[in-house]
Amino acid sequence: MDYGMIGKIEKAKRYAQERKRITFNNLDAQFRGDHNNYQMLLNAEGWNCTCPGYQAHGICPHVMAMERLLRPMLKREPLPYAVGQNVVSDVEKAKRYSEETDRIQFASFDVTFDGENSAHHTSYHDGAWDCDCSFFHSRHVCSHTMAMERILGSMITAAAPVAANGR
């Protein structure tokens, strides 16, 4: 029995419930809107979305949906409503979009994990994981990557752990 792995799976379950531990530093995601696909970015400077609404107002239902979905993990104030924005319609859309998670595909993201012992950096890029914890170093999977898989589900492309026990 792989007790080390069993412990990490238990920890991942717990972490997925304790989302305040997680902070999104950046993300790059595709968003399938009602009419078009858009690219959403988050980095230290803030959000960006390629949709016309965002380009005009600096806020849009796609970003608002992400703010709902990732709520305790963003650690930043929601974008303020803008003059000229159709707030009623955008709030309604954001609510609906945040329940239709098949619209969202993450291409990459980087999170900081406030773990039980120390902070860790976990990232995902085009199906590949990375984490700076020692368990990941030897096993290519860890409680942090597994917690993110639980949280984001089908919003990330399931990546098979690379040679978890083959060496």
Chain residues that interact with Zn ion, rule: CB under 5 A: 49, 51, 54, 60, 62, 120, 131, 133, 136, 142, 144
Residues paired with 166 in a beta bridge: none
Shortest distance in whole angstroms from residue 40 CB to Zn ion: 7
Between 116 and 126, name the residue whose CB sits nearer to Zn ion: 116
- Quick one: 129 or 154, whose CB is closer to Zn ion? 129
CA 146 to chain centre: 13
| DSSP H or E segment with residue 18 | none
Shortest Å distance, C-beta 26 to Zn ion: 17
Give the strands of the sheet with 46-49, arranged side by side: 46-49, 37-43, 22-32, 104-114, 119-125, 128-131
**From the CB of 137, what's the least distance to Zn ion, in Å?**
9
How many whole angstroms separate alpha carbon 2 and alpha carbon 18? 25
Question: Which CB atom, from 71 or from 137, has the smaller least distance to Zn ion?
Answer: 137
